[in-house]
Amino acid sequence: MAKQKTVYFCKECGHESSKWMGQCPACKQWNTFVEEKIASSGKQGGAKPLKTSASPMNISEVVMESEERIPTGIGELDRVLGGGIVKGSLSLVGGDPGIGKSTLLLQVCRNMANAGRKVLYISGEESMHQIKMRAERLGTFEQEMLLFCETDLDAICQAILKSKPEFVVIDSIQTMYSEELSSAAGSVSQVREVTAQMMRIAKEENIAVFIVGHVTKEGVVAGPRTLEHMVDTVLYFEGEREAAYRILRGVKNRFGSTNEIGVFEMSGNGLLEVENPSKTMLNGRPLDASGSVVVCSMEGTRPILIEIQALISPTSFQMPRRTAVGIDYNRVNLLMAVLEKRVGLALGGCDAYVNLAGGMRLGEPAIDLGIIMAIASSYKNTALPEDTIIFGEVGLVGEVRAVSGGESRIKEAEKLGFKRCILPKANVDAIKKKPKIHLIGVSNVREALDLI
Ligand code: TYD
Ligand code: MG
């Protein structure tokens, strides 16, 4: 056996060091270094380079091959990928355990197999029997699809090279291991080695490979974050496990725009596409209730309407309680501070709970004004008209700033039957063609609150 040496890896970003450190110099996280033994044959991280030209080439001489895309048969997934899976690309699907990664990829495999493509599904987590049982729930497989239950990297590579499929799924990266490394499956060096091998196979054989990776908060297995930079596409599957809705978010995409999202609903027969998320998200919304407002957030190129709810009540604790679900907690605190200082709402002695309905998570600043209005509406116990939609970014001085995509947000609101829109004044000025919806431009928080 090759000589072993001990190295340390950062669990978060994969930074390698010869000694243990409290803080990772690359990602500045604390306490993330783990010890690993690796064979010192220099094999780390898939040493063999990709097939490339032997010498530097002029860019004008490089022949353009138009990338060939394989439709997945799932519109929401195609949208996130930028129009289908690119041949010879390596993608990572990350997410909490149990969120539906295996289900989604099995559905993709079924669609592709049914379209007459050769597909290989490799699982290190479930037996053939279990996969078959899951597949039965998902519907019919008209065509053949290859299953392989294996965790040894060598055997997997051989199986891929022998069967030459067009599409391969590795479920999951944390269960696969290479015998050349002595560390356990799921450790940083194993995860990197397996990914590097898959990258080689994908590029050299022109096979599209999807890798599943469980995201762990604090655990022994390495998070997929360590390999984000190695793959072509990174998708994260998010959502509350209890809620039915799941969001597939593109975090990195070498072949298309990122930050597109796909919305799914988990049903008894696998994942269903949600084609009109705004309508779904607003389903069952309370009408004429204080603290409830509808905002519009751009997720990629798609505007999504969603309800924000706030509950403000006098505290009976020493320290007021504050929680935020689906929205950044610090952002909510900041906006409450703006309300206290710029408008004089006495929120200091109040508990505040702010929720985003439907299990979604949003980070766009354009929902700021909606959060502010929801909080003020609950504080004053006065409801906003239910046919009103709100968007706009709020600054520390209390100014309401313009946001991008104003017209598509307005169009979406019109489509869903809204009659009034509270938005930044600068956005109103920029609109050329007057829409049917009544536009109310505001330039600061005070003006907005006067509308309640
Ligand atoms: P799974 O795809 O196994 O999650 P992951 O691979 O991300 O760990 O999804 C598991 C969950 O989905 C499980 O709790 C059961 C549920 N589920 C359904 O509700 N309906 C279905 O048709 C299937 C296949 C799973
Ligand atoms: Mg799974």
Answer yes or no: do 134 and 266 share one domain. Answer: yes
pLDDT at position 362 is: 86
Assigned domain for 322 exists: yes
- Average pLDDT for residues 46-59, to the nearest whole number? 65
74: domain CATH number is: 3.40.50.300
What confidence tier does 191 reach under pLDDT thresholds 50, 70, 90?
confident
Domain assignment present for residue 425? The answer is yes
Expressed in angstroms and rounded, the spacing between residue 98 Cα and the centre of ligand 2 is 7
| Separation of CA 357 and ligand 1 centre (Å) | 22
Show which of 208, 242, 275 is a domain's final residue.
275
Statement to judge: residues 265 and 285 lie in one domain:
no
> Pick from 131, 120, 145: which is nearest to 208 by CA?
120
Cβ(95) – ligand 1 distance below 6 Å: yes
Q: Considering 245, 275, 305, which residue would you say is the last residue of a domain? A: 275
Token pair, residue 14, equals 């994969």
**Residue whose CA lies nearest to ligand 1 atom number 21:** 270
pLDDT for 33 equals: 84
Higher pLDDT: 143 or 445? It is 445
- Cβ–ligand 1 distance for 246 under 6 Å, the answer no
420, 417, 422, 423: which is closest to 402 by C-alpha? 423
Residue 39 binned pLDDT confidence (cut-offs 50, 70, 90): low
CA 274 to ligand 2 centroid distance, Å: 22
d(CA 312, CA 316): 12
Which atom of ligand 1 lies closest to the CA of 138? 22
**Is residue 45 situated within a structural domain?**
no
Q: Which of 44-48, 98-102, 304-308, 373-377 has the lowest mean pLDDT?
A: 44-48
Q: Confidence class of residue 46 from pLDDT cuts 50, 70 and 90? A: very low
Same domain, 246 and 299: no
State whether 31 and 111 are in the same domain: no
pLDDT at residue 86 tops 80: yes
* 127 in Cβ contact with 270 (< 8 Å): no
Which atom of ligand 1 is closest in space to residue 270's alpha carbon?
22
Which pair of structure tokens corresponds to residue 327? 């929205």
Domain count, the chain: 3
**Which of 96, 99, 103 for a ligand 1 pocket mutation test, highest count of atoms within 8 Å of Cβ?**
103
Q: E strands of 40-175, at which residues?
A: 69-70, 85-86, 90-95, 119-123, 146-149, 167-171
pLDDT tens digits, one per residue of 18-34: 888 899 888 888 888 88
Query: What pLDDT sits at residue 327?
Result: 92
In a domain, 54, yes or no: no
269 lines ligand 1 (CB under 6 A): yes
- Please indicate whether residue 268, judged by its CB atom, sits closer than 6 Å to ligand 1: yes
Return the residue whose CA atom lies nearest to atom 24 of ligand 1. 270
Given the DSSP bridges, would you call strands 420-424 and 438-442 parallel, antiparallel or unpaired? parallel
- On whether both 260 and 346 belong to a single domain, the answer is no
Question: 260 C-alpha vs ligand 2 centroid, how far in Å?
Answer: 23
Residue 50 within any structural domain of the chain: no
Nearest to 265 by CA among 180, 359, 198: 359
- Expressed as residue numbers, the domain containing 28 is 4-39
Which pLDDT band holds residue 423 (cuts at 50, 70, 90)?
very high
Q: Judge if the beta carbon of residue 97 lies within 6 A of ligand 1.
A: yes
What's the token pair of residue 339? 């309300």
Q: Is the pLDDT of residue 244 over 80?
A: no
Same domain membership, residue 31 and residue 74: no
Helices 101-114, 128-138: crossing angle, 10 deg rounding:
70
Same domain as 116, residue 32: no
pLDDT, tens digit, 9 for 90 and up, residues 313-329: 999 988 999 999 989 99
Any domain includes 49: no
Sign of CA dihedral 242, 243, 248, 249: negative
Q: Are residues 187 and 312 in the same domain?
A: no
Question: Are 292 and 217 in the same domain?
Answer: no
User: What's the mean pLDDT in 43-58?
Assistant: 60
- Co-location of 306 and 400 in the same domain: yes
pLDDT of residue 47: 47
Evaluate if residue 3 carries a pLDDT over 70.
no
Q: Which of 303, 289, 299, 311 is nearest to 388 (CA)?
A: 289
* Cα angle for residues 125, 126, 130 (degrees, 5° grid): 165
**161 with 91, same domain?**
yes
Confidence of residue 261 (pLDDT cuts 50, 70, 90): confident
Cα(99) to centroid(ligand 1), Å = 6
What's the CA angle centered on 450, arms 394 and 291, to 5 degrees? 70
Ligand 1 nearest-atom number relative to CA 237: 7
Across the range 304-312, mean pLDDT stands at 95
| Interatomic CA distance for residues 403 and 446, integer angstroms | 19
**For position 40, what pLDDT does the model report?**
57
Q: What is the mean pLDDT of the chain?
A: 88
Range name among 108-112, 123-127, 143-147, 321-325 with the lowest pLDDT average: 143-147
SS3 percent helix, strand, coil of the chain, rounded to 5, is: 30, 30, 45
Residue 380 placed within a domain: yes
Amino acid sitting at position 72: T
Residues 6 or more apart whose Cβ sits within 8 Å of residue 293: 307, 308, 370, 373, 374, 377, 384, 388, 390
* Contact (Cβ atoms closer than 8 angstroms) between residue 379 and residue 327: no
pLDDT of residue 412: 92
| Span from the CA of 268 to the centroid of ligand 1 (angstroms) | 9
What is the whole-number distance in angstroms between the Cα of residue 140 and the centre of ligand 1?
17
Do 191 and 11 contact (CB within 8 A), yes or no? no
- How far out from the chain centre does Cα 104 lie? 14
CA 203, chain centre distance (Å): 25
